[in-house]
Amino acid sequence: MTVTQFVIASAVLFSIGVYGVLVRRSAVMVLMSVELILNSVNINLVAFGALHDNIAGEVFALFVITVAAAEVGVGLALVLLIFRNRKNINIHEVDLMKG
Amino acid sequence: METAVFIVAAIITVLSAFGVILAKNPVHSVLMLMATLFAIAVLFVAQDAHFLAAVQIIVYAGAIVVLFLFVVMLLGVDLAENLRVEPIGGQRPLAIGATVATAVLTILLIIVAASDSSKPESGDLAGITQETGNTGVANLGRVIFTDYVWAFEIIAALLTIGVIGAVLLTRRAKQQEVEEEVVEKEGGQL
């Protein structure tokens, strides 16, 4: 069981998440792609923690999960507010602060 | 056996991650996200991170995905976006190119680094490794509440602030509602 395969799987997952963030237009879908990215980071943390026989990797993965939960809560609240004001959640149309 | 578990879980992870970003119906995306998270939990178990796998399923699949599902249902499932229209010309091919290039480059780097030294030397890790040979749940709890207790407290504060912020953002102020009603009535009378 080498660490390389876990890191490669995590890299693929990260790339898929980045593609989702770049391409999808619905704000909810962008948030879900961000979740994919955070999960790939978690795989990395756990893999290197196991490689170094260090529990810190798991601790940080736990913290990442907690921050992701907070981020989703606030992010979805913002999405709801945008929907309430504009009747859609297309992030390309939210350009009020565009310079 | 371990390799077989990894291969199956990794294939499910990647395929359902593609499902997340490619599905037209948002509900299908959410369900695919749940499949991805379950497969990642299996990957955690394969690395002896049992507590993290449980947390992954309870917090992610049990709470975050349900939250996503609630918002998708609240905003209307028929809000599926038209993927044909591109606001920025050539955005999609560019994104595919950049993503594939990043993935290939990263994987090549990983393979090169792995062939360089598959196992790190113990001398290099003197500063990093604190606990050796302990990866149990009890040790995890001990480390969180001793070495990382400040990070733990700050995370607790962050969660509280996040919840309060979410409630404040989505709450409609009562004062404002009353004022709006008054304005509407006056507008009707005039």
Whether A76 has its CB under 8 Å from any CB of chain B: the answer is: yes
Whether B169 has its CB under 8 Å from any CB of chain A: the answer is: yes
Whether B34 has its CB under 8 Å from any CB of chain A: the answer is: no
Query: B179 pLDDT band (50/70/90 cuts)?
Result: low
Q: Where are the domains of chain B?
A: 2-120+136-186
The CA distances from residue A36 to A62, B16, B36, B37, B119, in Å, are 15, 11, 8, 9, 28
Quick: pLDDT tens for A5-36. Answer: 899 999 999 999 999 998 888 889 999 999 99
The top-level CATH class assigned to B2-120+136-186 is mainly alpha
Give the chain B residue nearest A83 (alpha carbons): B75
Q: Where are the domains of chain A?
A: 3-97
Query: B182 pLDDT band (50/70/90 cuts)?
Result: low
More confident residue, B25 or B182: B25
Distance of CA A79 to the CA centre of its chain: 16
| Chain A CB contacts of B138 below 8 Å | none
SS3 B153: helix
pLDDT, average across residues A39-62: 91
Both tokens assigned to B179: 């004022």
Q: Are B99 and A22 in contact (CB under 8 A)?
A: yes
Q: What is the ipTM of this complex?
A: 0.91
Which residues make Cβ contacts (< 8 Å) with residue B92, sequence separation at least 6? A23, B86
Interchain pair A6, B47: CB under 8 A: yes
The single-letter code of the amino acid at A47 is A
Provide the CATH topology of domain A3-97. Helix Hairpins (1.10.287)
Interchain pair A51, B30: CB under 8 A: no
CA distance A38 to chain B (A): 11
Q: How many CB atoms lie within 10 A of CB A14?
A: 23
